[in-house]
Structure 1
Amino acid sequence: MSTKKQPKKEPTHGLRKPALKADRITFYSHPQAPLCLTHDVPSNSLVVTAFNSSSTSTSPAMSQATILNESSSAIHSLFSHTKVSPNRLVYITVGLMFEPASPKPFGGPKIRPGYTEYNGTTVASLVQYIVSASFKWYWACRGRDAIDFLTHNVNKARRLHYDGDADTLNELMLKGMKKAGHIEWNKPARIPDALQHRPEVEPNLDRYSVEFTPRMKGSGLQQNYILSMVGEVENHAGENFCLSKE
């Protein structure tokens, strides 16, 4: 009596099914607050501002196009308050943001991260892309991580500029230009004069100076000194001084 042999089954232990990766969707119990990027002049920083969208609000609702334009203008306004070209700081920002490890929509697989969707050729189009990509991700109910990520790196680029490490800044700028496709990867790049680093001290709105004239015995000469101070003015005995704001 013959018996039918069962087909041999391959062992399944150790085999993993490919994980299904889906974009995280955020569900809101209340309507999303309209957000916009603004240049906060007192703190010299880019901030995320939420506008009241309730029906009782007297302020007119902002369209999505207006939000994108206002946010792009805020970045340009912040970067215009330095001695270097705003374009340089935009490229430095992009050098910080365009990484596979960055949050979506900019990050993603190393073979094709999200930022490779950008195909513009101008700095204006680059700013428009990083702003619109961040806000469209938020409007698609995927959270505000992209907006916060953009805001953080814009402020970081400005802070690094005032730190003054020209080599690091130049490396980030060239990296941003290459990843944006504005210069070629495999060719040596020369930084044009318009994009060169120019060292400067970060302005401090609370900074005061004390100007005083010490009396020089026997010489009849007077010398002026400037002492930079923050906070209280120390009492210099025997010296005439006046408080003035720089």
Structure 2
Amino acid sequence: MSLEEFAVAGVFAIPAVLFTTWTVYYLWKALRIAVSQPVSVGEAAAGRGTGEFVGTARPAADGTFDAPFSGARALLSTYRILRKSGSSGSWTTKTSGSIERPFLVEGRDGERAENDTILVDPDGAAISPENESVRERTGSALPNDVRLRLSQHQSEVDLETVLAQNATRSRQYVEGYIAPGDRIHVSGGQLEESDVSGVDAKVVAGDGQYRITGGGRSVAVWGFVKKAVVTGIVSIIAAGGVVIALAAAL
């Protein structure tokens, strides 16, 4: 086997190993969440369980805001702007980010008349909203209502990058958001005492992999499964390239 043939096999082998590793990791995360036992908001606030809990999202003192692209009433919002390549027709991410506000997660245990409440600080969390909208446009200007909503979040959105897009190419605006009343799954955060009246505890980023997922535990599991499918397909293709390269060298 010549050095050139070995190099060709290596070109495919490296991504095969990397994407296989990612596939195993995503499947492990999905399995871990699937077999875990998230506790109620009240149990989490009392320090029981592993800090993984589910409940219903509600506005905190900072209230809600209008998600920039959809105008939906939101507690958290993520966005991603993609531009279509002129040569290949593929989509390339130009910018992405999130708009975050602390919010409450509520739940009720047993016969209690009042809800248990945890204040969630999303700073530092990986956010996976259940609600998502995708809009595609070609043109130099966004609608005025979108530009107005974007201008209200100048400290959190890079307006220069968002607005200064090539007008001759199609763009996709992908937006996700968590709305009041959504089912929420929180894991990996650090629970602390709260000094806010009516709030039993608060959760902030800690040493773990802090995640906030809209839609509950099943959505969190499915999100990792979908990632595993994508990376698994790429790893199979790359492994096939290794086999073909080795076969050609024999």
Q: TM-score, normalised by structure 2?
A: 0.23
Q: TM-score, normalised by structure 1?
A: 0.24
Query: Higher strand share goes to which structure?
Result: 2
Q: Which has the larger radius of gyration?
A: 1
